[in-house]
A and B are shown apart, each in its own frame.
Chain A
Amino acid sequence: GAGVSQSPSNKVTEKGKDVELRCDPISGHTALYWYRQRLGQGLEFLIYFQGNSAPDKSGLPSDRFSAERTGESVSTLTIQRTQQEDSAVYLCASSLGAYFGYTFGSGTRLTVV
């Protein structure tokens, strides 16, 4: 596609439920990133995928968070047993590689009630 697509755009979930967020990167972009942005704050790195290499999971805040990517296509970020502090905008970005510019999606706004 022409840009990075994320779905859903908004998600309201009850505390304790699992959620799955989806990211469709730009075709041909080998690198894919997930960031989290809490209200009024900067972006917090979560995870990085590069081609078929093992992902860099160093930013995942707890074992309730996991992400997968099939080859160089779609990625899903899963949050298990959601907590209120998980409420944030989750942003996905893709690029041609770690030292190239990113293209971000519009994000998924997650609200845990």
Chain B
Amino acid sequence: DAKTTQPNSMESNEEEPVHLPCNHSTISGTDYIHWYRQLPSQGPEYVIHGLTSNVNNRMASLAIAEDRKSSTLILHRATLRDAAVYYCIFPTGNQFYFGTGTSLTVIP
């Protein structure tokens, strides 16, 4: 399995930035790093993905280390709706391996 390592849980105050780390030391040079999040009672939702350089979209930013063995998902201003489990994954064979992710709590 293509494994990633994430903290089990993190907390953030509302309207503050959140940096969610992920280690993926076994990633190959051509694998994209993907981030998904899962809100309670819903299926996972795509957040962002990237290969080497940093990526931005309307939901978040993705900072990828130069050696690609780690990455950080950045939520610029956490809202209560960002409370979810965040998964950092990359493809192995035909599928993505989802670990248990990071459960983010946003404190009002």
Contacts and interface: CB of A to CB of B under 8 A. Distances in A.
A93 B94 CA distance: 13
A65 interface: no
A5 B32 CA distance: 26
Interface residues of A, number: 24
A59 B96 CA distance: 12
A2 B43 CA distance: 15
B46 A56 contact: no
Q: What is the size category of the interface that chain B forms with chain A?
A: 20 to 34
Contacts, number: 50
A105 B34 contact: no
Interface stretch (B14-22, B61-69, B98-106): B98-106
A55 to B, nearest CB: 9
Nearest to B44: A104
Interface string B74-108: 00000000000001000101111111110000000
